[in-house]
Amino acid sequence: MNWIAIGDISDIPLRGARCVKTPQGKIAVFRTAENEVFAIEDHCPHKGGPLSQGIVHAKAVTCPLHNWVISLETGKALGADEGEVRTIPVRNEDGALFIALESMMMAAE
């Protein structure tokens, strides 16, 4: 897998996110209160809202547009809602963050 450096964990506040632009689209990178890091596509499966601007709680994010809740682990909508976004492998090496873009390209094929 080809890992792409995207910055440092300290760039993302606890219970926060940042958006990373890639040739395959925007990726939302989240940091939970437990200091775990997740990466998913930065659009809600409902109406395309920017998930990177949502509220992070536990291992989920709430879309800022219509309050859909998306699992950061699976990319699937939680509750009665249906839909999902792709998850992207993310690696934390002593605070340096990396994502694997190949997973997005393979999923698009």
CB 70 within 8 A of CB 60: yes
User: What residue spans of the chain are helical by DSSP H?
Assistant: 102-108
CA atoms within 13 A on the CB side of 27: 25
Range of the domain at 66: 3-108
Q: What is the sign of the dihedral through the CA atoms of 40, 50, 53 and 81?
A: negative
Rounded to an integer, what is the distance from CA 36 to the centroid of its chain? 12
- Residue-wise pLDDT for 70-94, tens only, equals 999 999 999 988 999 999 999 999 9
- Confidence at residue 108, expressed as pLDDT on a 0 to 100 scale: 47
Q: How far apart are CA 84 and CA 12, in angstroms?
A: 23
Number of domains in the chain: 1
CATH number for the domain including 28? 2.102.10.10
Q: Using 50, 70 and 90 to split pLDDT, how confident is the model at 104?
A: low
Q: Using 50, 70 and 90 to split pLDDT, how confident is the model at 66?
A: very high
pTM of the model: 0.91
